[in-house]
Amino acid sequence: MTRLFPLLLILATSICQAQDSLLTRFIKTNKHSFNPKGETFEGRGWMVIDSAVQASNQVLIGEDHFFNEIPHFISAIATSTTFQNFIVEIDPFTASLLQEKISKLSTSDFNSFNKQWQESFSFYALKPEMELMKQMVKKGAKLGGTDQIILMSDGLIANTLKQKSKNKEAIKRYEQIESQSARHLKEFLKDQTKPFYLLTPAFDSTLNKLLTLPLSPNEQQQLQDLQLSKRIYAEGSHWLRLQLMKNNFYKYYYPIVTKEKTLYKFGAVHMTKGEGLLGGYDIGNIVYNIADSRYEKSLHIMIVGKNGTQGSPFKGFPAQQLDPINGELKSLKPFFDEVNKEWVCFDLTKMHRPLRLGELKTDDLFLRRILQGYDYLVVIPEVTAATMD
C-alpha cells in the first residue's frame, strides 16, 4: 500500500499534465491574430469573425464591461453587416425610451436628455457605449432590453410615467420618487454606505400606495417591474433575475427577433449556449435552442481584456487595474499566455467535439462552461477604462 499511493499520485499528475498539454495544443493551433485599423480591423482573426457573423442570424456577444475597446469591436461588426434588432442588458422600458429619444431628438436635445439621466442608463451611461447604441438605432436597428430596472433608474421611470399619467395622485407620487431618487444618488456618490432610494422602506411605501390607484396598464406594468427589480436587489437573487430576463424576452421580443438578424450584447455570464457562467440557463441558452429548433446556428462570441484598466458605472469613480493572474478571469490564463501585443481570436468550436467525447477535460467548471458555451473567444491585449465623458 505504501508503494501504491505514490504510483497513483504520479499517474494522476501525469493525466492532469496530459490534459493541460492537450488544451494548450488546441489553443495554440486554433488562434488567429488581428488588429484595429481605423473604424474596423484587419488580420486573419477578423476575417474569421466577420465570416461567422455574416453566416448567422443570431449573433451573441458576451463581454466584460466598462472598456473602450469592446464597443469599438461591436461597432465594426455592426458596420460590416446590418442588424434588424439590438438586444442589450437594460430593462425594456429604458430601451424603448432610448429608441424614441435617439430617433426623434436633435443632437443637442438628446445630449441634454442624456446629461440629465445618464446614470440611469446602466452600461450605456458610458460614452463609447452610448455612441454604439446611437449608431445601431440610426442604422435602423430596433432596441430591446431584458434586464431588471437598475438601482439608479427609478427616477427616470417615474419621470416618464409622470408625463403620461392621468391620475393626479399618481403624478404627485412619481414626483416624489423622482426627487428622492436624485437625492439618494447624490448622497451615495459622496458616501457609498448610503442606500439608493429603491432600497429604502420609504420607496416601498410610495410604491405600494401607487399600486392601489387606478392606473393605466402601462403604468401598472412598470410599477410591478420596479417592485420585482427591488426584490432582486434586496435578495441578491441571480435566479430571480434570470427568470425576469427570460420572461421579458418572451413577452416583448419573441418570436420576431429570432426570425430576423439580431445582435445581442450582454455580460459574458449571460451569453453561453448551455449553462451560464454563474449557473442557471440564460438568454444565450434560449436563443441557442430556438435557432437549433429551426436548423440554424446561433453565434456566441466572448470578448475580454487581458491587461489594462476597467471603468466604473459611477461618474468620477477611479478605474480598476485588471489582474490576469488572480482576477475574476484567471481561468482564462491558458489563453492569456498566448496573447502579447495583438488581438487574438481563439476558435473554440474545434474543442466542442473533444469536450463532448471526454477526450478533452478540465476540472475548472468556469472554464468548461466557457469552452462549451462559446464559439469564439476574443482577447484584447491592453484595454482602457471607459468613462461617461
Q: What is the mean pLDDT of the chain?
A: 95
* pLDDT for residue 248: 98
pLDDT in tens, 286-325: 999 999 999 999 999 999 999 999 999 898 899 999 999 9
**pLDDT average, residue stretch 325-352:** 97
**b/e code 205-236 from CB counts within 10 Å (16+ = b):** ebbeebeeeebeeebeebbebbbbbbebbeee
**pLDDT average, residue stretch 190-202:** 97
Give which of 156, 170, 374 is closest to 272, Cα–Cα: 374
Residue with cell 435617439: 102
> Which of 12-16, 125-129, 296-300 has the weakest average pLDDT?
12-16
First to last CA, the chain: 68
Taking the C-alpha atoms of residue 243 and residue 249, their distance in angstroms, rounded to an integer, is: 10
pLDDT in tens, 17-38: 555 789 999 999 999 999 999 9
* pLDDT for residue 16: 46
Give which of 168, 373, 200, 171 is closest to 275, Cα–Cα: 373
Q: Are 124 and 133 in contact (CB under 8 A)?
A: yes
Taking the C-alpha atoms of residue 197 and residue 254, their distance in angstroms, rounded to an integer, is: 33
Cell of 319: 478605474
pLDDT in tens, 219-270: 999 999 999 999 999 999 999 999 999 999 999 999 999 999 999 999 999 9
- Tally Cβ neighbours within 10 Å of residue 188: 17
The identity of residue 37, as a single letter, is K
Contacts of 82 (CB under 8 A, 6+ apart): 139, 140, 261
* pLDDT for residue 199: 97
pLDDT in tens, 60-106: 999 999 999 999 999 999 999 999 999 999 999 999 999 999 999 99
DSSP H helices, the chain, are: 4-29, 44-55, 69-80, 92-104, 107-117, 127-138, 154-164, 168-190, 201-211, 217-235, 238-248, 256-259, 283-293, 333-336, 349-357, 365-373
- Read off the pTM: 0.94
Taking the C-alpha atoms of residue 353 and residue 130, their distance in angstroms, rounded to an integer, is: 39
Taking the C-alpha atoms of residue 14 and residue 22, their distance in angstroms, rounded to an integer, is: 12
Paired with 267 in beta bridges are 63
Question: What would you report as the CA-atom Rg of the chain, rounded to the nearest whole angstrom?
Answer: 23
Cell of 242: 434570470
Give yes or no for residue 10 having a pLDDT over 90. Answer: no
Which pairs with CB-CB distance under 8 Å and at least 24 residues apart come from 193-197?
196/151, 196/152, 196/154, 197/154, 197/155
Identify the DSSP state of 279. S
Report domain extents, the chain. 20-147+246-383, 154-235
What percent of the chain clears pLDDT 70, i.e. is strictly above it? 95
Q: Are 265 and 277 in contact (CB under 8 A)?
A: no
